[in-house]
Amino acid sequence: NAGVTQTPKFRVLKTGQSMTLLCAQDMNHEYMYWYRQDPGMGLRLIHYSVGEGTTAKGEVPDGYNVSRLKKQNFLLGLESAAPSQTSVYFCASSFLTGHEQYFGPGTRLTVT
Amino acid sequence: DQQVKQNSPSLSVQEGRISILNCDYTNSMFDYFLWYKKYPAEGPTFLISISSIKDKNEDGRFTVFLNKSAKHLSLHIVPSQPGDSAVYFCAASIGGGADGLTFGKGTHLIIQP
């Protein structure tokens, strides 16, 4: 039982490049979330999903897209990376409510 | 506008003493509050939570107190241990929390031997 895993762990992108961050959970959780954490800041919600095939915008969705084609996976895409998207990205999942969320180890992304 | 505020970026406490971490919120719609603990290079882990219908919840060494009239909650750790050194995030949600959590900026707790 791996819990929540994130791929990749680190990535450096040039401005304008695109990439996809993958989140996978093996706990059969319904809800999945993408957060970003910047230095000195708390986690801010980017997008979330309350079930397979559904997605919704969070607090800071601009510049990101998501997809939840399978229940266990939640993908975060950056179509044209900008330096302002340099951050640590955390994926989380939860079972029946959004309260006790299980977090992945994070992806550290640098955009130059 | 920050809806969940942790005004102390860091807190240093001696091992064995009580650690008290504070959190204030502005949105009166929040009805569920949580504390998460985070070690460097790891994701946050859930620690303890409290519903707005309660004013106290206890789990071992950890107790969370909620004062709704003051829009204030606190996390007490007794006794503090070296492994408690971490960043602690206060978080809040509305309803079932399906649409995510609102986090504070965190407090870095340092337990000194």
Separation of alpha carbons A29 and A21, rounded Å: 19
* Residue A69 structure tokens: 């084609």
**Closest CA in chain A for residue B40:** A105
* Residue A4 structure tokens: 């929540």
The verdict on a CB contact (< 8 Å) between A56 and B99 is yes
* Of residues B27, B31, B25, B29, the one with CA closest to residue B89: B25
Chain A residues whose C-beta is within 8 A of a chain B C-beta are 4, 31, 33, 35, 40-45, 48, 50, 56, 58-59, 90, 92, 94, 96-106
Answer yes or no: is pLDDT of A99 > 80: no
**pLDDT in the model for residue A25:** 97
DSSP category for residue A31: E
pLDDT tens sequence across B51-95: 999 999 999 999 999 999 999 999 999 999 999 999 999 999 998
For residues A41 and B107, which has the higher predicted lDDT (pLDDT)?
A: B107
pLDDT tens sequence across B2-25: 899 999 999 999 999 999 999 999
Answer yes or no: is pLDDT of A97 > 80: no
Which chain B positions have a beta carbon within 8 Å of A42's beta carbon? Answer: 4, 6, 89, 91, 103-106
Percent of chain A with pLDDT over 90: 89
Distance from CA of B69 to the nearest CA of A (A): 22
